[in-house]
Amino acid sequence: MKLGIIGLPQSGKTTIFTALTGARGEGETPGSFHKDAMLATVTVHDERVMFLTDMYQPKKTTYAKVEYLLPSKISGKAGSGPEGGIWNQVRPCDALLHVVRNFKDAREPTPESDFWKMEEELILSDLMVVEKRLERIELDKKRGKKPEGNEYSLLMSCKEILDKGLPLRTDQGLASEPELRGFTFLSAKSMLVIVNNGDEDESLPKWKKPPAGADMVLVRGRLEKDIALMDADEAEEFLEMYNIQESALDRLIRKSFSLLNLISFFTVGPDEVKAWPIPAGTIALDAAGVIHSDIKQGFIRAEVVAFDDLKNAGSLQEAKKRGQVRLEGKEYRMKDGDIVNFRFNV
């Protein structure tokens, strides 16, 4: 699961990417992507995992991870528009991070108009795809070929939204319609807006027309990047100086995780405490398969306790005494924070 980073030139995309990799992960240049594109694998900090680590003192602790793609800059070929190459790079991504400049450089910050400028490009790009496909279907109709399924009416619904200047994500049902998946519409992807503030500024801009269907996070990008590249002692001093409590980056990463519609379940023991990311709504049988295909194959039961119950009980034995450790079957829908022991045959 990947998030693609977009935003106008000089909005702070590289700065925020560097902050993310410097603080919580590692960046690499994956061969399979466009030349110069960067991929970051970043740890999702989770207090529950820290608590479980304290409780079990395992040899190893493994957190969930999120990936960010920073597209490489390509000047567009004629007709494709300056962002053409970037769109193709972020099409396979599951969600988008949209960085908006809200710091002063040679220009005053103009976050709202910057945001809508990029948003309009996403909408236009989708509209072009929709109209081209509709023309094709109409041509086929004239030739006596009947359109299949609901494609035509779904595309008409898309057109209606896009014509109003709205992104497809404002209609969640339509945005997640399986019949439209192949189009990889950009404005249908979930989006997190990163308002990139100057070092001294901690307030969100006032919007006349706020981002549609997108959550917002405020980050002081350059400040976070500087801190991320310091050694631990220096960073601590700095955090105190600027009175920074919770890292904005951690908040950003956690929001990215939920934007991807992921939840975590945990496995615990003396060897390892581990967070396993799964799509919300995953059933126990498939969650078992995430760990190992043998566990799915030989699935008998899932022994489940909610994190808060275990925390309040203080130990698994006590949680058992209280009747909070349940035995669940294959069809059980996993919940965020479930601590699970799968029983299986080999």
Ligand X SMILES: Nc1nc2c(ncn2[C@@H]2O[C@H](COP(=O)(O)OP(=O)(O)OP(=O)(O)O)[C@@H](O)[C@H]2O)c(=O)[nH]1
Residues forming the site for ligand X (CB under 6 A): 7, 9-15, 73, 103, 105, 196, 198-199, 220-222
Q: How far is the CB of 242 from Mg ion (least distance, A)?
A: 25
* Number of chain residues interacting with Mg ion (CB under 5 A): 2
Separation in Å, CA 103 to CA 51, 113, 188, 199 = 37, 14, 28, 8
> Which residues inside 7-66 make contact with Mg ion, applying CB under 5 A?
13-14
Please, which residue, 12 or 22, has the CB nearer to ligand X? 12
Rounded Cα distance between 33 and 35, Å, is: 6
Q: How far is the CB of 243 from ligand X (least distance, A)?
A: 17
Please, which residue, 74 or 295, has the CB nearer to ligand X? 74
Q: How far is the CB of 101 from ligand X (least distance, A)?
A: 7
Contacted entry of ligand X, Mg ion, none for residue 10, CB cut-off 5 to 8 Å set by kind: ligand X
Contacted entry of Mg ion, ligand X, none for residue 169, CB cut-off 5 to 8 Å set by kind: none
Contacted entry of Mg ion, ligand X, none for residue 98, CB cut-off 5 to 8 Å set by kind: none
Q: How far is the CB of 28 from ligand X (least distance, A)?
A: 18
Contacted entry of Mg ion, ligand X, none for residue 220, CB cut-off 5 to 8 Å set by kind: ligand X
Please, which residue, 228 or 244, has the CB nearer to Mg ion? 228
Q: How far is the CB of 27 from ligand X (least distance, A)?
A: 14
Please, which residue, 22 or 221, has the CB nearer to ligand X? 221
Q: How far is the CB of 125 from ligand X (least distance, A)?
A: 18
Separation in Å, CA 64 to CA 44, 80, 108 = 5, 37, 38
**Contact at 8 Å (CB) between 254 and 49?**
no
**Contact at 8 Å (CB) between 306 and 324?**
yes
Q: How far is the CB of 8 from Mg ion (least distance, A)?
A: 11
User: Rg of the chain's alpha carbons, rounded to an integer?
Assistant: 23
Please, which residue, 20 or 155, has the CB nearer to ligand X? 20
Please, which residue, 27 or 198, has the CB nearer to ligand X? 198
Please, which residue, 58 or 198, has the CB nearer to ligand X? 198
Contacted entry of ligand X, Mg ion, none for residue 271, CB cut-off 5 to 8 Å set by kind: none
Rounded Cα distance between 249 and 257, Å, is: 12
Contacted entry of ligand X, Mg ion, none for residue 9, CB cut-off 5 to 8 Å set by kind: ligand X
Contacted entry of ligand X, Mg ion, none for residue 307, CB cut-off 5 to 8 Å set by kind: none
Contacted entry of ligand X, Mg ion, none for residue 150, CB cut-off 5 to 8 Å set by kind: none
Q: How far is the CB of 5 from Mg ion (least distance, A)?
A: 9
Tokens linked to 311 = 């925390």
Separation in Å, CA 4 to CA 114, 293, 304 = 18, 30, 35
The reply on whether position 72 binds Mg ion by CB under 5 A is: no
Please, which residue, 4 or 167, has the CB nearer to Mg ion? 4
Backbone phi, psi, residue 183, to 5° = -80, -15
Rounded Cα distance between 97 and 47, Å, is: 24
Residues in contact with Mg ion by the rule CB under 5 A: 13-14
